[in-house]
Amino acid sequence: MITNIIYIFLISLILILGGWAFKALISLAQGKPVEINLKNPLNLKARWPKEPKEK
């Protein structure tokens, strides 16, 4: 049981680090600076509906 949890953690860590590295390589290839955001490492944004504007 604990082994499975450790494997899930390791796979997640590898995917996140690989995504960071891939994003950095793309930025370097385009000549852009590499930005590292530790608060939001996967650059996820909230997608819930915004409040309707009052007319």
SS (HEC) of the chain: CHHHHHHHHHHHHHHHHHHHHHHHHHHHHCCCCCCCCCCCCCCCCCCCCCCCCCC
What rounded mean pLDDT belongs to the chain? 84
pLDDT tens profile 19-39: 888 988 998 999 988 877 778
pTM of the model: 0.60
Top pLDDT among 20 and 5 is at 5
What pLDDT is stored for residue 55 in this prediction?
Answer: 61
Q: Residue 3: pLDDT above 70?
A: yes
Domains of the chain by residue range: 1-55
